[in-house]
Chain A
Amino acid sequence: MSTSSSPADPRPSASPAVAAADRLAVVAAGGQVEPEVHERVRQTPAVLEIDRFNLWYGSKQALHSITMPIPHGKVTALIGPSGCGKSTLLRSVNRLNDLVPSVRITGEMRLNGDPIYDQRMDVIELRKRMGMVFQRPNPFPMSIYENVVYALRIDGESRRAVLDEVCERSLRGAALWDEVKDRLGESALGLSGGQQQRLCIARAIAAEPEVLLLDEPCSALDPIATGKVEDLIQELRGHYSVLMVTHNMQQASRSSDYTAFMYLGRLIEYGPTTDIFTKPVLRETEAYVTGRFG
């Protein structure tokens, strides 16, 4: 995988006329547009910096020169219609896309200043610095307890006291402790879907990650379970830096501090959530968040 800068000029100058016209049409036609990144985003300290990042599946380009800082200690939501590259971007952060043979990337990402795609970066160590929660709950085929302490186990931690403490802290952090504290030894597969997803969150925060990646964490859950997980994301705000993909506009507006709107692999507009939802700079963003398109 190459880390050199994009062969194509990453930022073709978008003329004001184009900016005012329908950018989405330009993008759909294969052109490039300048993303509208609000000033307040640039001013916040970033835990993760994405810098002119391009990604191809085989010959198909899925991400086009994404440049965005992810603020420290905040919840950032990625929104956009299906296939716009939100999940791909998320999976690029912890290099899960490395597992797909045909993937090729250019550009850079930095986690607290460390280049993620550097050849000297140990991908195993890198992933230990992040936690990830997937669309569908994917508890491992083991006990609740072992699920939570999995990251520590694979690190060779076997001191019972440490594991017990991490297990309780993580489950409390994921608002699941009271429901499962009496059956930690039982199979995690016996939990309900919502409990399983909160267990996955507990597993992801067990190793004190620098950034937490949530890939549509509520898309497979019923409304009640969704509500609980959303409450939990509110709780996580401040303790963790969260990057969250969501399809659900209400969820993004309720749970996140910053929102980025993506379309067909491009970043279109990125700013504080209240601004994006109430007074977006671009008409296109307004059209999307109000449900008139997408």
Chain B
Amino acid sequence: MNSDSLRARRRRSTHAALAAHGEAWVWLTGGCLALAMAMIIGLLSYIVSEGVATFWPRPLDLLELADGRKVLGEETGRDTAPDGSGRRLVRTANFELTGKHFEWFADGEVKATTRPAEATVVERLEGGRFQGFPSRLLHGDEVVATGGEGAWQGFVAHHPDVRRRWREAWRIDKGDRGDLQRRLRAARLAVVRAELASGADSPARAAAVAAEATVAAGVAEEERRLDERTAALRADNEGWGLEFTTAPGETVVLPLAEIVRAWQPNKLSFPERLGVYASRWGEFLGDDPREANSAGGVFPAIWGTIAMTLIMALLVAPFGVLAALYLREYASRGPMTAAVRIAINNLAGVPSIVYGAFGLGFFCYVLGGSIDELLFRPALIADGQPTFGTGGLLWASLTLALLTLPVVIVATEEALSAVPNSMREGSYACGASKWQTIRRIVLPRALPGIMTGLILAMARGAGEVAPLMLVGVKKLALDLPIDGTFPFVHPEREFMHLAYLIYDVGFQSPNSQAAKPMVFTITFLLVAIIALLNVAAIWIRGRLRRRYVSQQF
């Protein structure tokens, strides 16, 4: 074949020309990236927009229906009914009166829609929202204020005091009484310890029993004092009530102490609206949950998530790095190391619930059970409950450390193999031993890559739910794993976790419509926390990289 015909053939082949220019590949690769970006941004912006809007006070509509009913509620959704007419979902609240939280209304049913200025939303400690028109402020038999505006102003004036007293009583119940219970328990443990150490009828046990009696007497005395104080606080709150008229015309008196916060959305100015918004966010971030987690705050879950993720990172980092070091730097190449490497990669594919089952079986029951037997026998006998022998923060962190171990090992191995051999040789040539070379040259140089693995591991671990349900995450656990009571860190405590809360609030809640916005907000929060942890880790990695890796010629 001569060169002319060859050239002609080449020119004819548009297929080859396309491949040679590479345009198709640019479009294909760029398209894939664009698709991935669109999905990620779409998901994130959906979560953010829904999550951020949850606490924004929305107007209350007073609907007059064709059948003469009147309904006061917040429109939360709108769609087209099967017959083609529009319909709206209205949060009607007042569950104790109507038996429902939400109701659908077809557009045809609604005769008129108004937004009365005095329509009020009340968030209560129990029973969900209440919506109505304030009519009178009561204190015992006395009527403090009447008329819509007067009653509201009276409420605004007196509510903070009532709430302050309520908070104080709550603090006494939770904090001071908790201390008393701890003292009592310590004395009881001392008796059991003495019995175990010296026998059932030893003088030591008798002394401990006597001491326990003294403590019990002291605690009872304290208890009486606290009772008096809380009774006084509650008596002051007793009788304060805000009388409401609902849209259909019933009259309901809500005790002021039961009201968490109330607002009149239809007449809020923008700054006031922001104030309500901020106050609801504040409660969400800083308080304990109420009403089966569907209202109130998620502070214990935030705390639990961060504590667990950090402890997990602390556990998995040294473990994974050392394992990878051996695998890459010390182990001789061969079928054995190849098999180990494949096994580690396969570990990443084991369903996470299996790790949970392993954590429960091995960490909680075997390890925790042994620790209880050895160190916490008195507690086991006195309380009849395990200390470490059940799910807890430590075991959950260990389980997730195990779960994320493959990620860290693989990333560390990659980072180690990316360290140029010339650096190792340079170090050996200076007379450094293998360990000196690893510690002074290889590890610092590989640190940014190791951090990448840790970032991935943390993101994976913080979002994990299934194994946590088995090894220590609970629906409600108000005692924080790290708090102000001795010894300050309680690795054995059960804890709450945001990812589990998403499942719990979203799918286990009796009032799922009302919980839906909470699910978005919690998701938003979890994503934000993970992003924050990642940003911190990436910042550290950037610093390390500038210090150890950047090379210029």
Q: Which residues of B contact A190 (CB under 8 A)?
A: 550, 552
Query: Chain B's interface: helix, strand, loop or mixed, by majority?
Result: helix
Chain B positions within 8 Å of A193 at CB level: 553
A59 to B359 Cα, complex, angstroms: 51
CB pair B552 A189 closer than 8 Å: yes
Q: Which of B420, B423, B553 has the most CB of A within 10 A?
A: B553
Most buried by A among B422, B423, B432, B441: B432
The answer to whether B436 and A154 have CB atoms under 8 Å apart is yes
Asked if A138 contacts B547 (CB within 8 A), the reply is no
Using Cβ atoms and an 8 Å threshold, which residues of chain B touch A140?
Answer: 423, 426-427, 440-441
How extensive is the interface on chain B, given as a class?
20 to 34
Check A138–B422 contact: CB distance below 8 A: yes
Minimal Cβ-Cβ distance residue in B for A213: B429
B549→A141 contact, CB < 8 A: yes
A263 within 8 A of B: no
B98 is an interface residue with CB less than 8 A from chain A: no
Q: Which residues of chain B come closer than 8 Å to A99, judged between CB atoms?
A: 425, 428
State in angstroms the CA–CA spacing of A101 and B334 once bound together: 12
Give chain B nearest CB distance to A185 CB in angstroms: 12
Any chain A CB within 8 A of the CB of B193?
no
Asked if A241 CB lies within 8 Å of chain B CBs, one says no
Kindly identify which residue among B431, B441, B550 contacts A151, using a CB–CB cutoff of 8 Å. B431
Q: Say yes or no for A26: interface residue by CB 8 A criterion.
A: no
B374 within 8 A of A: no
Identify which of A96, A150, A203 gathers the most chain B CB atoms within 10 Å of its CB: A150
Q: Does A177 contact B (CB under 8 A)?
A: no
Contact of A154 with B430 at beta-carbon distance under 8 Å, contacts A101-B332, A136-B422, A140-B440 already known: yes
Residue A272 interfacial (CB < 8 Å): no
Q: A189-B552, A193-B553 are in contact. Are A141 and B431 (CB under 8 A)?
A: no
Is B425 a contact of A134 with CB atoms below 8 Å?
yes
B101, CB-defined interface residue at 8 Å: no
Q: Across the interface, do B430 and A141 meet the contact criterion of CB distance under 8 Å? A: no
CB distance from B181 to the nearest CB of A (A): 54
A125 and B428 in contact (CB under 8 A), knowing A138-B423, A140-B423, A140-B440? no
The answer for the CA separation of A130 and B546 in the assembled complex, in Å, is 31
Most buried by A among B332, B425, B445, B549: B425
Which residues of chain A have C-beta atoms less than 8 A from B431's C-beta? 124-125, 127-128, 151, 154-155, 207
Q: How far is the CA of A141 from the CA of B543 in the complex (A)?
A: 13
Question: A141-B444, A141-B445, A141-B547 given as contacts; is B429 within 8 A of A131 (CB)?
Answer: yes
What is the CA–CA distance of A204 and B425 in the complex, to the nearest angstrom?
Answer: 13
Report the bound CA distance from A153 to B437 in whole Å: 12
User: Which residue, B426, B432, B550, has most C-beta atoms of chain A within 10 A?
Assistant: B426
Q: Mark A90-133, 1 if CB is under 8 A from B, else 0.
A: 00001010010100000000000000000000001101101110
Interface readout for A203-228 with B: 1 if CB under 8 Å, 0 if not? Answer: 11001000001000000100000000
A203 to B432, CA, bound (A): 13
* Chain A residues in 8 Å Cβ range of B440: 140, 142, 150, 153-154
Find the B residue at minimum CB distance from A140: B441
Contacting residues, chain B, for A151 (C-beta < 8 A): 430-432
Question: Within B505-548, which residues are at the interface with A (CB < 8 Å)?
Answer: 546-548
Q: Do A124 and B429 touch (CB < 8 A)? A: no
A94-B429, A132-B429 provided; 4 other pairs, C-beta below 8 A? A138-B426, A141-B441, A142-B444, A187-B546
A residues with a Cβ closer than 8 A to B are 94, 96, 99, 101, 124-125, 127-128, 130-132, 134, 136, 138, 140-142, 150-151, 153-155, 187, 189-190, 192-193, 200, 203-204, 207, 213, 220
Query: Could you list 5 A-B pairs, sorted by A, with CB under 8 Å?
Result: A99-B425, A130-B429, A140-B427, A150-B427, A220-B553
